[in-house]
Structure 1
Amino acid sequence: MHPSTLLTLDTPAAIVSLPRMQRNIERMQQRADALGVRFRPHVKTSKCAEVVAAQRAAGAAGITVSTLKEADQFFAQGVSDILYAVGMAPHRLAHARDLRQRGCALQILTDSVEGARAIVDHGREHGHVFEVLIEIDTDGHRSGIRPDDELLLSVGRVLHDGGMRLAGVLTHAGSSYELHTPQALAALAEQERAGCVLAARRLRAAGLPCAVVSVGSTPTALEAASLEGVTELRAGVYVFFDLVMRNVGVCSQEDIALSVLTTVIGHQADKGWAIVDAGWMAMSRDRGTAKQARDYGYGQVCDIDGLPLEGYVLSGANQEHGILSHEGAPDADIVARFPTGTRLRILPNHACATGAQFTAYEALAADGGVARWPRFHGW
């Protein structure tokens, strides 16, 4: 049964199931250990000290961040091995240098000659040696240099000859989110691995250093058969999972650790709607499942204990109003089934986006105890 706290918390609230979260953390760490690589979790999903402490306790080596504010926050909390895995904008170099000069082992990223030159120029001007990785594009999803492109060696030479430390190469198979079979995910994981390893070999063959070979996305990390030639694995959303990952096929609904606690505040009986106080300001605008085989609207409706109520989804959302309805034929008994005041939990499409709507998580332990875990925002 649910703890009484879930009946007294103000809503909407972000609930983290600690048993599920811990199971997810252990699963991914065991994968990295079995594949023989360091695991560097991406902490942009949670942006929460307590979550990251649990990841590190399980064996994580360093963290990955998506903003320098994350680097600031976690460095202040005692984490010094940090990878900023977003292309470095020249105006942020002073901030990155300040972190490094205060003792943070911050690695930065580039994928262009222009970006490399900006890093070199700033480093020379201030007498500082940055540690830099080159981003590799192994699936055409986002940014990076193709593994076989001559540009790779040009960027490497600019950094190395300019006195910076060329630390290695990094890739992210973001297109894995578009797949949904183990076979397709395993094939992309191998493409990701092989492409990044090829880039590393080309740099080394040209006489350039390349100690780090960093790969990862949650789906490819969980389906990779081998990471030969790779030194570290990264993943982020696995810590909570979500409905997009459920559709991709790397978790079940029972693995999703994040949900939004909400209250029924009214009805449109003739339409078969219950109105809840979790709109898109609570769930986010992310409709990631809309392009997948199973569309959950703005989220899967669960009872207060977190058990999915099959067929019921958050089918619409305004800023502070969510529309709960039944897929297919409207529920004529919606008022009786979900009386005003009923408490429910909604599983999110995208845990990173939903988490970002809240200043804190309500961490729900197996014994029913709830602790408030602050979450930070911004850049």
Structure 2
Amino acid sequence: MTLDQIETPAALIDRPRMMRNIERMQTHMDGLGVAFRPHVKTSKCVQVARAQRDAGARGITVSTLKEAEQFFTAGFSDILYAVGMVASKLPRALALKRAGCDLKLIADNLESANAIAEFGRLHGETFEVWIEIDTDGHRSGVKPGEARLIDIGRALNQGGARLGGVLTHAGSSYELNTPDALAALAEQERAGCVHAAERLRHAGLPCDVVSVGSTPTALAARHLEGVTEVRAGVYVFFDLVMRNVGVCDTADLALSVLTTVIGHQADKGWAILDAGWMAMSRDRGTAKQTHDYGYGQPCTLDGAPLEGYALAGANQEHGILASTGQPDTDIAARLPVGTRLLILPNHACATGAQYPVYHARSGEGRIEVWERFYGW
């Protein structure tokens, strides 16, 4: 298969770039002396997860129980379901456990902790549960110093459940863009999660695992004393948001969308593509960053960016490629109908989610089709 034989739009993985990204993260984690548990929600692809495991990753993180089921079927057994558990989902978690999956759940409130423990006791099972810690006010979790942390820990230590550890995600790192700021947040993330673990242990509760992570803080961390594992996901592909954060270069982005020029509005300086927001997603994560890429950065087929151009607009199936400066009234001659381009995405997770398969391209130009999981 060649690029010319792929119907557009299509999601392409640059395998050499992906492998360099995997090696970079794993080497950094090995140097810091911690286990690495990749978040496979970015790719939702067995071949990608296997490459991460082969490089040294231990276990995986998932964002849906369907991912857990599909990756378990594919041979992954050490799985963290990193979204707060609710009672209605416990039967699926039970089925995974009884099938042999080493599934870990998370909770950040007493109601969920009690529901997990009660369900476990009712079915003669013990669920391993980690408490989610809020170290940056970004989203979910218990603050490290809150009194209810101990109450949740005790609820998970009375049969039906077992307190396995604590975890946190410094998602506010996506809002930063300097090495010093990222390093400071990485330390805040580490210190907060370790403090929560120490409080639980001081209360006589077990807390074996201290799990931290986001792609920016994982790469910015200078030491991880007290941490047992790190989680990160988007690093495997990177994207334009991460490029603005400063943890990668454009040449590191391993996911792109293959698209075709289907027309022009020459007076406006537009080239019309067959990749709209259904192909790229509606994620405009770079809009508030230092460089706004619109809906994506156009590139030639060899991955070289078309400097001064962006996917400036998008309808459902139409993308508008335009100059970021003065309108390019010669764009029809520069990019004639039928021209194929690559578009680098703002958010690799969101763009990947638009496709049932990836087309993975090797350095020699060989292309393989890799299936992608989807749904909940």
User: TM-score, structure 1 length as denominator?
Assistant: 0.98
Partner residue in 2 for 1:154: 151
Of 18, 43, 59, the match for 1:21: 18
Of 164, 167, 191, the match for 1:167: 164
Of 219, 229, 254, the match for 1:257: 254
Runs of 4 or more, structure 1, over 4 Å off, are none
Q: State percent identity of aligned pairs.
A: 70
1:8 to partner: Cα distance: 2.1
Partner residue in 1 for 2:125: 128
Query: What per-residue deviation string (whole Å, max 9, x for no partner) do you get for residues 14-64 of structure 1?
Result: 010000000000000001101100000000000000000100000000000
1:306 to partner: Cα distance: 1.2
1:108-127 equivalences under 5 Å are: 108-127=105-124
| Residue 10 (structure 2) pairs with residue 10 (structure 1) | no
1:92 to partner: Cα distance: 0.5
Residue 78 of structure 1 aligns to a residue whose secondary structure is coil
| Residue 179 (structure 2) pairs with residue 182 (structure 1) | yes
Unaligned 5+ residue runs, structure 2?
A: none
Residue 289 of structure 1 aligns to a residue whose secondary structure is coil
1:281-300 equivalences under 5 Å are: 281-300=278-297
Partner residue in 2 for 1:87: 84
Letter of the aligned partner of 1:311 in structure 2? G
Q: Is the 8 A contact 2:34 2:227 kept in 1?
A: yes
Residue 201 of structure 2 aligns to a residue whose secondary structure is helix
Unaligned 5+ residue runs, structure 1?
A: none
Partner residue in 2 for 1:218: 215
Question: 1-side partners of 2:3 and 2:329: how far apart?
Answer: 28
1:161 to partner: Cα distance: 2.3
Partner residue in 2 for 1:330: 327
Letter of the aligned partner of 2:185 in structure 1? L
1:212-251 equivalences under 5 Å are: 212-251=209-248
Of 35, 39, 53, the match for 1:38: 35
Residue 16 of structure 1 aligns to a residue whose secondary structure is strand
Partner residue in 1 for 2:362: 365
1:127 to partner: Cα distance: 1.0
1:121 to partner: Cα distance: 1.1
Residue 166 of structure 1 aligns to a residue whose secondary structure is strand
Q: Is the 8 A contact 2:117 2:158 kept in 1?
A: no
Greater alpha carbon shift after TM alignment, 153-162 vs 234-243:
153-162
1:163 to partner: Cα distance: 4.4
Kindly report the root-mean-square deviation, in angstroms, between the aligned alpha carbons of the 2 structures: 0.7
Q: How many residues align?
A: 376
Question: 1-side partners of 2:348 and 2:43: how far apart?
Answer: 8
User: TM-score, structure 2 length as denominator?
Assistant: 0.99
Query: What per-residue deviation string (whole Å, max 9, x for no partner) do you get for residues 220-252 of structure 1?
Result: 000001100000000000000000000000000
